[in-house]
Structure 1
């Protein structure tokens, strides 16, 4: 069984029911999505978690309407500058997680680009903030890290796919286009589901 997750149902409005695929609308942000996925994985058995949704791209990293696969996610959970945070007793902050790299490679063979994801708690809305964040990822979402990390902790393979709906910059210049992002998402998700189905 595959657990297909999105933050809001409209992102997957195009999706029609498929055997062995269960859809979960997690809610927006890392807390809602992480808790929702962790609860689902504790209650039922899944072979794969797919995190799907729209995302913003830092200028030059991807085009609006493009469907991409996310190879890894980063989230600021330690020092603001991204350096490791020293904690007592050998404790560590987990701020990076990867999609299933074998699946990522197979999606690359299908012609999709792999991008680095940055998970944020608030949508970036100024060019100044975007310039400071661009070094940490190619695209920005609010759920990617949380979903992939919840799956990793449960020992379940996971992969993230996104459709680009806007550029990460001043909100007035972001060229927000939900429909184009959803179309890009549809293409990459349908390809992924077809790939997984043929592998079974």
Structure 2
């Protein structure tokens, strides 16, 4: 049985994911709230992986999980986004000719392939049968969450395969890669990417989706 490390940003996400795990899945899965942003996520992931190796119980796969934003053309509130690639969308240089990524600058890579997860029916923790709409595509990692239509358009133009954004996935992927481990990212949609409107966010619904999806995600990875 594979051992899975799940990294969330905040405690509410960690609690929501863990709440959805049956007892048998918890034996194979550890859920850690690593902090907000790619740097905090990378540090928490690396520290946890080192500790596990020292204890003689290393992990086999790492998952970045939590809530995030979706591009309106790709998904709706409450959907579950599954990464095909994890991309650092704003890591690079601004130039008069436009943005240049780290890849284009010759300093590394901004994209990591993600472990594929197949769509499936997911059972909510209350026992109700819940069908979660799952959307696959590129997930962007940003240091500044998008808050304008103009920035949303720029990101879509640079990354036409993107379905959503969050702040930690790339950091988790970098740390996992240093340990030679595969990585996945899943995001429950709490808001649509564009003009910032806190009143339109649905954080509670997104956390409920994360809970509903947790068991199926882990079960798919341990097989």
TM-score (norm 2): 0.77
Q: How far off its partner does 1:82 sit?
A: 4.1
Q: How far off its partner does 1:109 sit?
A: 6.4
Structure 2 counterpart of 1:42, from 38, 50, 53 = 50
User: 2:194 is matched with which residue?
Assistant: 169
User: 1:180 is matched with which residue?
Assistant: 205
User: 2:118 is matched with which residue?
Assistant: 107
Closer/same/farther in 2, CA of residues 19 and 62 from structure 1, 3 Å limit? same
**After superposition, what is the alpha-carbon deviation per residue over 1:126-176, rounded to whole angstroms, capped at 9, x for unaligned?**
111111112322201000111112101211122111100000111128721
Q: Which runs of 5+ in 2 are unaligned?
A: 53-57, 122-132
Matches of residues 49-198 of structure 1 in structure 2 within 5 Å? 49-75=62-88, 76-80=90-94, 81-83=99-101, 84-87=103-106, 92-100=107-115, 104=116, 106-108=117-119, 112-135=134-157, 136=159, 137-172=162-197, 175-197=200-222
Q: How far off its partner does 1:85 sit?
A: 3.2
Give the distance between the partners of 1:93 and 1:181, measured in 2 at CA. Answer: 33
**RMSD over aligned Cα, in angstroms?**
2.0
TM-score (norm 1): 0.86
Closer/same/farther in 2, CA of residues 40 and 148 from structure 1, 3 Å limit? same
Give the distance between the partners of 2:38 and 2:135, measured in 1 at CA. Answer: 24
Q: Which runs of 5+ in 1 are unaligned?
A: none
